């Protein structure tokens, strides 16, 4: 048994490899984090070291105090993660205040957790509360078609939600809350973390204009599936516009019928 035999580790590595194969992770683009279950934490204990020193997270996340996360490393290439997981990933634990972290496994040749650690952890804290602990995965990717959309559509939740819902019938069922949209912001700091968090209170998907997407989900399949669904819809949007734009589309009454049939609640503000 090694660290790489745990199913959460395999699920994490598979997601990263699939994201790279999709073309979402040029160079060191994108990052991923997973909040370990109690069972995971007990199971991995024999494989951890205590050489790591506490460092500041750059954000306070008291509701995550003492929790353990698997995260991608800052500057590490997603393409290399399946080949060298112990050099590109880190397992970190948070202190009892939820203000500092230390590395207990991984980044064997040195390094730091993802530059987006404050955003990941602040959003894990929000999602843990909002979903009663169900959500454990936060994923950021540079999805090209969605990024292209942010150069032509008004940067509002309504414009993006309606455009994405209309481009693929499954979308309102997969993300009935819609998507939140942020204007361009400097990556990596607490300003983008706070702004993303405000939108994550309402949505599981947040668009970072001219940059990429931020998604939350219960497990690796659900979170990857959400990213994939949004990006595929964005790809159809790009094709439709390249062909001269919509000539017909799914109507508001169609959406209402869909909501009834699939028992989802679509916010009225997106249906007029
Ligand atoms: O990891 O994607 O947003 C590099 C990034 C920062
Ligand atoms: Zn990014």
Q: Is the distance from the beta carbon of residue 123 to the nearest atom of ligand 1 less than 6 Å?
A: no
Predicted local distance difference test score (pLDDT) of residue 21? 98
Predicted local distance difference test score (pLDDT) of residue 190? 84
From CA 12, how far away is CA 90, in angstroms rounded? 12
Q: Map tokens 């809350």 to a residue.
A: 177
Q: Which residues of the chain have pLDDT under 50?
A: none
Q: Is the distance from the beta carbon of residue 189 to the nearest atom of ligand 1 less than 6 Å?
A: no
Both tokens assigned to 77: 């290439």
Cβ burial 207-228 (10 Å sphere, 16+ → b, else e): bbbebbbbbbbebbebbbebbb
Single out the residue of 69, 110, 67 nearest to residue 86, CA to CA: 110
Q: Among the bound ligands, name the one nearest to the CA of residue 29.
A: 1
What separation in Å is there between the alpha carbon of 214 and the centre of ligand 1?
11
Strand, helix or coil for residue 129: helix
Predicted local distance difference test score (pLDDT) of residue 262? 98
Q: Is the distance from the beta carbon of residue 11 to the nearest atom of ligand 1 less than 6 Å?
A: no
What separation in Å is there between the alpha carbon of 87 and the centre of ligand 1?
18
Please list the active-site residues. Answer: 116
Q: Is the distance from the beta carbon of residue 187 to the nearest atom of ligand 1 less than 6 Å?
A: yes
Domains of the chain by start residue, with CATH: 1-136 (3.40.225.10), 143-272 (3.40.225.10)
Predicted local distance difference test score (pLDDT) of residue 239? 98
Instruction: List strand residue ranges (DSSP E) for the chain, in order.
Output: 31-35, 55-56, 68-72, 89-94, 100-106, 137-141, 180-182, 205-208, 212-217
């Amino acid at each position: 048994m090694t660290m790489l035999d745990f199913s959460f580790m395999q699920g994490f590595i598979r997601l990263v490899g699939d994201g790279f194969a999709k073309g979402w992770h040029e160079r060191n683009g994108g990052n991923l984090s997973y909040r370990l279950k109690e069972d995971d934490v007990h199971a991995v204990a024999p494989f951890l070291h205590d050489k790591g020193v506490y460092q500041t997270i750059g954000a306070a996340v008291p509701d995550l105090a003492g929790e353990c996360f698997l995260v991608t490393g800052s500057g590490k290439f997603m393409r290399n993660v399946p080949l060298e997981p112990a050099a590109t990933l880190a397992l970190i634990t948070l202190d009892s205040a939820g203000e500092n972290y230390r590395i207990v496994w991984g980044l064997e040749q040195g390094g730091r957790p993802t530059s987006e650690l404050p955003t990941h952890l602040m959003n894990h804290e929000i999602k843990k509360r909002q979903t009663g602990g169900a959500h454990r995965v936060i994923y950021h990717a540079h999805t090209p078609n969605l990024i292209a959309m942010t150069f032509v559509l008004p940067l509002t939740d309504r414009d993006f939600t309606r455009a994405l819902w209309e481009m693929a019938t499954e979308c309102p069922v997969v993300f009935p809350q819609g998507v939140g949209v942020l204007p361009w912001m400097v990556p990596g700091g607490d300003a983008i973390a706070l702004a993303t968090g405000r939108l994550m209170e309402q949505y599981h998907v947040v668009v970072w204009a001219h940059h990429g997407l931020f998604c939350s989900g219960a497990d690796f399949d659900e979170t990857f599936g959400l990213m994939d669904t949004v990006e595929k819809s964005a790809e159809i949007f790009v094709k439709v516009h390249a062909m001269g734009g919509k000539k017909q589309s799914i109507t508001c009454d169609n959406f209402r019928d869909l909501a009834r049939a699939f028992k989802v609640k679509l916010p009225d503000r997106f249906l007029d």
